[in-house]
Amino acid sequence: MSAAPAQSRPGGRSARVRAAVHRAVEELAAADAAEPLTIPVIAARAGVHPTTVYRRWGSVAQLLADVATSRFSGDVVVPDTGTLAGDLERWMGDVATDLADPDVLALMRATIGSGPEGGCACAVDRHDQLRAMIERERARGGAAPDVERAVDMLLGPLYYRAVFSTQPASPQWARGLVTALLKDM
């Protein structure tokens, strides 16, 4: 969505509404996975009129995409340890720690399907970060796996454990995935 400067002064009413609505979505997602996330329910929780939400986001799906993009951007930073192995290990530990927070997991589940062309808006920033680390390694002349292969072998097992299985996804185990990926090149 492009910014509409007249409506979105930082700290103005527009920013307060956005913050309140985002917080309402996060709280409702964390409270009960079976709670239906509808615009009237979200608006009531945020203390704003449903029309305000409809006008600004259009649909629950677009609102969820906005919340996921905002929440899952910048929460984990790209480390710069000097080596690809070091960068990936620290980053995977951080992503695993993030996913171990039940509120983060609840929001992720709620926003599945919210990404561009399906997928999850929660994953877009993760892919960008992985690509940044891999391209930096190539730029300094090192060997690095394909981004797609790294997504498959790192984010695949990590998100699968967090969402589908009951196996714990510990930061230590997550770092072990990096070793397996880089050994295999």
User: Is 163 a residue that touches a copy of itself (CB under 8 A)?
Assistant: yes
User: 112 forms bridges with which residues in the sheet?
Assistant: 120
One of 80, 103, 128, 152 touching a copy of itself (CB under 8 A): 152
Given the rule CB under 8 A, which of 2-10, 84-92, 93-101, 147-155 is the region that contacts a copy of itself?
147-155
Contact 105, 95 (CB under 8 A): no
How many residues touch a copy of itself (CB under 8 A)?
A: 39
Q: How far is the CB of 178 from a copy of itself (least distance, A)?
A: 13
- Residue numbers 78-137 binding a copy of itself by CB under 8 A: 109, 112-113, 115-120, 122-123, 127
Interacting residues with a copy of itself between 5 and 44 (CB under 8 A): 33-34, 36-38
- For 6, 98, 135, 162, 164, the CA distances from 109, given in Å and listed in that order, are 34, 14, 30, 10, 11
Distances from the Cα of 40 to the Cαs of 25, 59, 74, 127, in angstroms? 12, 11, 29, 33
92: which 2 tokens? 């995977």
Q: How far is the CB of 171 from a copy of itself (least distance, A)?
A: 15
CA angle, corner 151, sides to 92 and 96, nearest 5?
25
- φ/ψ of residue 112, rounded to 5: -60, 135
184 binds a copy of itself, rule: CB under 8 A:
yes
Residues that bind a copy of itself (CB under 8 A): 33-34, 36-38, 59-61, 109, 112-113, 115-120, 122-123, 127, 148, 151-153, 155-161, 163-167, 177, 180, 184
